[in-house]
């Protein structure tokens, strides 16, 4: 059984999307209601899915990007109530900002048995930075989290979906061992001494049955997500920097 990772963001009541994580039409799409999130966790358990930790050979990894305040107030408790572990990828430059976790919340998540990782220092689009700045994003966020936790931090998630081999190589060079992308593949790929993982993105419109299908490796679900993702990537590549503006415009309309 391959390893599969699900990528979540914040979990907030629909009327309170600005209370956790990044704001705006784009980020808001990835915020689930507590009711829906609980439904996902219960359905995964009912389906007999094994929830794993980075480094385990198989199972399903639950990952949460950005370090929004709901990581500590809502997601952590929902996982703990079911005896599950999550991976929280924190933007260290946002620590303590309104709508984001602070140092105490990060320690509390770690103490509750969750994995804490980096999501870069500034949440920049790394493909647009010179490689020395990419290295700085990885090294700085690692140092901040290690100082805060008093232990090695060796997992990360690449921010905003933009990834190239050199971004992953820079992360491996900084000492990270588990590198999570937002690309939909299931077999971890070696990058130096690290492993790069694909992830399946979950948003508020993802049906619970589809989440279970992804987690259990149902071929149609996995194929559907992969083909949609590669189509979007081709569109991005064709449109170049225009893609972001077009996407922002489309999201603003909906």
Short-list 91, 67, 81, 94, CA closest to 9: 67
Find out whether 115 and 53 touch, Cβ atoms under 8 Å.
Answer: yes
Q: Supply the minimum distance, in Å, between the C-beta of residue 199 and Zn ion.
A: 12
66 vs 169 by CB, closer to Zn ion = 66
Nearest to Zn ion of 66, 225 (CB atom) = 66
* CA 186 to chain CA mean position, Å: 15
Q: Nearest to Zn ion by Cβ — which residue?
A: 65
Nearest distance, CB of residue 119 and Zn ion, angstroms: 6
Strand pairing report for 59-66 and 3-8: parallel
* Least spacing, CB of residue 25 vs Zn ion, in Å: 15
Task: Please name which of 76, 119, 111 lies closest in space to residue 95, comparing C-alpha atoms.
Answer: 119
DSSP result, 163-198: --HHHHHHHHHTT--EEE-SS---S-EEETTEEEE-
- Give whichever of 68 and 76 is closer to Zn ion, judged by the CB atom: 68
| Nearest CB to Zn ion, comparing residues 4 and 9 | 9
Binding region for Zn ion (CB under 5 A): 65-66, 159
CB of 96 to Zn ion, least distance (A): 17
């Amino acid at each position: 059984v391959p390893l599969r990772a699900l990528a979540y963001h914040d979990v907030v009541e629909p009327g309170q999307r600005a209370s956790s994580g990044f704001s705006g039409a784009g980020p808001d799409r990835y915020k689930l209601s507590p009711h829906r999130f609980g439904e996902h966790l219960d359905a995964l358990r009912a389906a007999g899915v094994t929830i794993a930790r980075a480094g385990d050979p198989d199972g399903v990894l639950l990952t949460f990007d950005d370090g929004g305040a709901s990581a500590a107030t809502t997601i952590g408790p929902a996982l703990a109530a079911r005896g599950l572990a999550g991976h929280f990828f924190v933007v260290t430059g946002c620590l303590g900002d309104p709508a984001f976790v602070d140092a105490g919340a990060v320690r509390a998540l770690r103490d509750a048995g969750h994995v804490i990782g980096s999501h870069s220092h500034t949440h920049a689009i790394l493909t647009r930075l010179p490689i020395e700045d990419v290295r700085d994003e990885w090294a700085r966020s690692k140092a901040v989290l290690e100082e805060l936790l008093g232990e090695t931090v060796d997992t990360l998630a690449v921010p905003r979906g933009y990834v190239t081999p050199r971004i992953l190589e820079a992360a491996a060079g900084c000492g990270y061992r588990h590198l999570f992308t937002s690309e939909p593949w299931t077999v971890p790929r070696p990058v130096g001494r690290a492993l790069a993982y694909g992830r399946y993105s979950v948003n508020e419109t993802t049906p619970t049955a589809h989440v279970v299908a992804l987690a259990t490796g149902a071929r149609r679900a996995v194929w559907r997500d992969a083909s949609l993702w590669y189509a979007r990537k081709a569109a991005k590549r064709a449109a170049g920097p225009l893609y972001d503006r077009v996407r922002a415009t489309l999201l603003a309309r909906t």
